[in-house]
Structure 1
Amino acid sequence: MIPEELFKRRHRGTPESFTLIIVNAIVLALVAPGFVKCHHISLVFWIVAGALAIYNFFTVRRHIESFDRFAMIAYIASLVIMAGAVVALAFKDC
């Protein structure tokens, strides 16, 4: 049958690092196509990116114990990939 320890374990839910990566990707996917055009990045995009950076700072600071080395590397890699996507979108052939 099923061991009793299985039911005693607590489910902690989705890790904060994964949630933060998903939130960043969704916000950039919604904002970038509308405000990043041929060789021009709108002021609205920079305001949203700044607000997202503040949100990221406070979220990481609040949940620093859940950001182990692997989660931090994945988070930083996702930021680099998203920044590269925005730059590629801004400098694509018009």
Structure 2
Amino acid sequence: MEREILDLNRHAASGQLESVARLLMRSEAISSSRIEGIAPNVDKVVLAELAQKEEVRGFKESAEEVARNLTVLCSIEKSFATEPTSPSAFLKSSKES
């Protein structure tokens, strides 16, 4: 199954999958945050994500927290796409961080 998912990146429409993946990841992060008692609006999280790259205002600390979590998730996702994904490799890289 993992190999089939990785093979999706080789198709011409794979760029569209990245957009969908980002949307799903943002939705999951906001839902998880709501379970934890943090309830930022989606538009505020998007502003907080944008603020990581340029000067943007108009969001609360809770939206910034969710945006930072999304950044971490995206970096993990990218590392899985470019590095071996065996459990031992992941554990090794986690210990080195």
TM-score, normalization: structure 2?
0.35
More strand by share: 1
Considering Cα pairs closer than 8 Å and 6+ residues apart, tell me whether 1 or 2 has the greater RCO: 1
